[in-house]
Amino acid sequence: MSLARNSVGPALGQGTPGAWKKNISERAIALVLLLSTMLSILVTAGIIFVLLFEALKFFGEISFWEFISGTRWTPLFSSKHFGVLALVAGTTLTAVLAMVVALPLGLLSAIYLSEYAPDKVRKPVKPILEVLAGIPTVVYGYFALLFVTPILRQISGDISVFNALSASIVMGIMILPMVSSLSEDAMRSVPRTLREGAYALGSTKLEVSTLVVVPAALSGIVSAFILAVSRAIGETMIVTIAAGQNPNFTLNPFVPIETMTAYIVQVSMGDTPAGSIEFETIFAVALLLFAITLAMNLLSQYVVSRFREEYE
């Protein structure tokens, strides 16, 4: 491979006749930089290799069908069942509820910041909103368990100490800035002329926002939404702290559940010996988690590139 293909500047090692030392050091540097770049690709390969390698050991003993279709997950008990759907249900429940919070609030906030807010409001509000995304997730876990849950339990006595609802609400707040920031960027890149055309036809601001700007920015909004779902699926600490460690195959948000990520933490914190079937379960679960989030990230990129409305 030529190290200097397609780039500005002289080809490597040329232009200084006879200076072979310089020539060698230039090539060495290029090689070091190339190796570093290769490393980032190696990380992906490493993740896939590590997860597959350990998961295959697991699937050597437990059938893939039992794993992917069973609804009871009890690898740590004496009567072992390996139905991952119990964990998938917990993950789906929390992710969906989190999006119920994050999508409307995030989208409406984005519309406000992009269409309504004057500059002197937007400029300070946007970075403050993004602070929400920078707070460590363990902090949200604390907040969910010790602040939100007690309030929910006062509203309804049916709600357990550990429940999906509290974790989801707080997770929704955490991913809200992701939805609002990315959606706002998409809306602001909609050209002014489109808005002005609609105003000229007598539209109100509401009509311009919802019938012109949002549809024009839809690819960006949808991709932000998918990324947020992917983030919610991979989120670990909030659900570990506040949603419980009971892999119930249920969509009831008031009872304790367990997500895929929380299960990995549970096993990592315990004294399960490495190499045992119990320990290998976390790699099988992580492989599934990785596959789901990767698919969503790729889908999000596809939506942006395929459905983007191009304006001059």
Partner 1 sequence: MVVSSQTEFLRKRARRKWLGRAFHGLCLLSVVIALGMLAVLLVYLMVQGITRIDWSFLTSFASRHPEQAGIKAALFGSIYVVIIAGVTAFVLGVATALYLEEYSARSKFAKIAKINISNLAGVPSIVYGLLGLQIFVHSLQLGKSVLAGGFTLALLVLPIVIVAAMEAVRSVPPSLREGSYALGATRWQVIWHMVIPQAFPGILTGVILAVSRAIGETAPLIAMGALTFVPFTPDGPLSRFTVLPIQIFNWTSRPQPGFQEAAAAGIIVLLVVLLVMNAGAVILRNRFQNKWE
Site for partner 1 in 20-59 (CB under 8 A): 22, 25-26, 29-30, 32-34, 36-37, 39-41, 43-44, 46-47, 50-51, 53-54
C-alpha gyration radius of the chain = 25
Q: Phi and psi at residue 73, in whole multiples of 5°?
A: -125, 100
Does position 282 interact with partner 1 (CB under 8 A)? The reply is: yes
Q: Does 200 engage in binding with partner 1 (CB under 8 A)?
A: no
- Minimum CB–partner distance for residue 79 and partner 1 (Å): 26
Site membership for partner 1, residue 139 (CB under 8 A): yes
> Which residues 216-255 are close enough to bind partner 1 by CB under 8 A?
227, 230-231, 233-237, 240-241
Of residues 71 and 297, the one with the C-beta less far from partner 1: 297
How many positions of this chain bind partner 1 (CB under 8 A)? 98
Stretch that binds partner 1, among 72-80, 215-223, 249-257, 291-299 (CB under 8 A): 291-299
177: contact with partner 1 by CB under 8 A: yes
Instruction: Using the rule CB under 8 A, give the single segment among 58-66, 77-85, 188-196, 200-208 that binds partner 1.
Output: 200-208
Q: Choose between 93 and 287: whose C-beta lies nearer to partner 1.
A: 287
By the rule CB under 8 A, 270 interacts with partner 1: no
11 Cβ contact list (under 8 Å, min separation 6): 4
- Give, as ranges, the residues between 92 and 111 that touch partner 1 (CB under 8 A): 104-106, 108-109, 111
- The sign of the dihedral angle between the CA atoms of 66, 265, 288, 278 is negative
d(CA 51, CA 287): 6
Among 64, 150, 298, 307, binds partner 1 (CB under 8 A): 298
Please say which residue, 69 or 151, places its beta carbon nearer to partner 1: 151
- x/- binding map, residues 52-91, to partner 1, per CB under 8 A? -xx-------------------------------------
Q: Is 180 in the site for partner 1 (CB under 8 A)?
A: yes
